[in-house]
Copies of this chain bind each other. A is one copy, B any other.
């Protein structure tokens, strides 16, 4: 069957999460989780691709405008042509000679690229009647490598090296799949530790999450040291000395402040500190990691592209690699980062939460385990309990693990009713003050 992409539409959808202070941290006071929601229509009325990029509210319209600017680069293409040269398609998407001035490959234009690229992958997986993770897991190593644009990466990873890494793991893939089918993919929860929550709510949420089977907890830090110490103490009291406590500063510190502050929290045995300073500061991360060892430095949620990840990994600046499914330019670029992380033996623990990110990263972590790293050691995908009700095929969590998604596609198609309500500014969430 041949499939042609006939049209692209984009919706500015926003969810009023700031009303509950979900997602509040030291840098992001009150996010309204939002997506630019891309729909690719084809010449098969029942075959539609969906993709998102994620933002936290204001500015979502700018991402939608950038999607529109990229529209002509995808409409009219045939899926089989895209699928036959996925790296070429990705290069095409990121190489408009005028639009690349806006990045290149970073910020709004790259977020918009992700929405479209992710929609193409959704379309492809649906056409193959497979969940995305299985589409990729069924690739030969050659097909996998053919999805990646290696431009700017070859001083650290060549296509030949990638091929040999993938080939080495291929024959044991079935064993790993059985493990995932039995247990799911390990996750950790962020839903308890938002800065905007009271101590009582923090304690109560810890207990609730423990009872649900969660083993790893994350807490937001960085606004006030005494406050952080009190909250770390509460969470340690609740989770005990052996469970992992993750900390996340959301970029609020300079290098020396990060080092001093975290030394003050070291007694609570944090396993990692996430985003201690600017997400662009590779050398700064490296200084912090060296000073704080054995506390790991984690980052990636705001890491602009594969070239930045390449350096973070090469410079030993990042001991936990937190890819984001929409900050990177879609699945193709994520695959490149998975390979580089595996080469440097750095665990990939994707950033998630918000709206749709959990739905996305479950696939990416599964691909990482089945095809790329072959390991679950120190790997876990982030989980937050927000906005899953809007998806046709929402994540399924059991005992602190993501269960393998089974529905064809990339799990991001939304309910019509959710789309209607969230449309900004005319949807009910925004036009009706009582919604």
Footprint of B on A, CB under 8 Å?
27-32, 55-59, 61-63, 65-66, 69, 96-111, 151-155, 251, 254-256, 277-284, 287, 302, 304-305, 307-308, 310-311, 314-315
Contacts and interface: CB of A to CB of B under 8 A. Distances in A.
A304 B56 CA distance: 22
Nearest to A153: B254
A101 B63 CA distance: 11
Contact of A59 (B30, B109, B279, B280): B109
SS of A interface (majority):
loop
A141 to B, nearest CB: 22
A305 B283 contact: no
Given A31-B97, A69-B62, A279 B102 contact: no
A155 B56 CA distance: 30
A97 B27 contact: yes
A97 B62 contact: no
A101 B351 CA distance: 14
A-B interface, 5 closest residue pairs, ranked by CB to CB distance from nearest: A107-B107, A108-B108, A155-B255, A57-B98, A58-B98
A56 B107 CA distance: 17
A183 to B, nearest CB: 33
21 contacts: A27-B100, A30-B97, A32-B98, A55-B102, A56-B98, A59-B66, A59-B102, A102-B108, A102-B111, A107-B109, A108-B108, A151-B278, A153-B254, A154-B254, A155-B254, A155-B255, A155-B287, A280-B305, A280-B308, A280-B311, A283-B311
Contacts of A110: 107
**Most chain B CB neighbours (cut-off 10 Å) among A30, A98, A153:** A98
B101 A107 contact: no
A299 to B, nearest CB: 13
A69 B65 contact: no
Contacts of A104: 251, 278-279, 302
A347 B308 CA distance: 25
A254 to B, nearest CB: 5
A424 B66 CA distance: 17
A340 to B, nearest CB: 13
Contacts of A279: 104
A151 B252 CA distance: 9
Nearest to A72: B58
Contact of A281 (B55, B58, B69, B152): B152
A270 to B, nearest CB: 21
Contacts of A153: 254
Contacts of A308: 280
A178 B180 CA distance: 74
Interface centre among A32, A59, A97, A153, by most chain B C-beta atoms within 10 angstroms, is: A59
Contacts of A287: 155
Contacts of A27: 97, 100
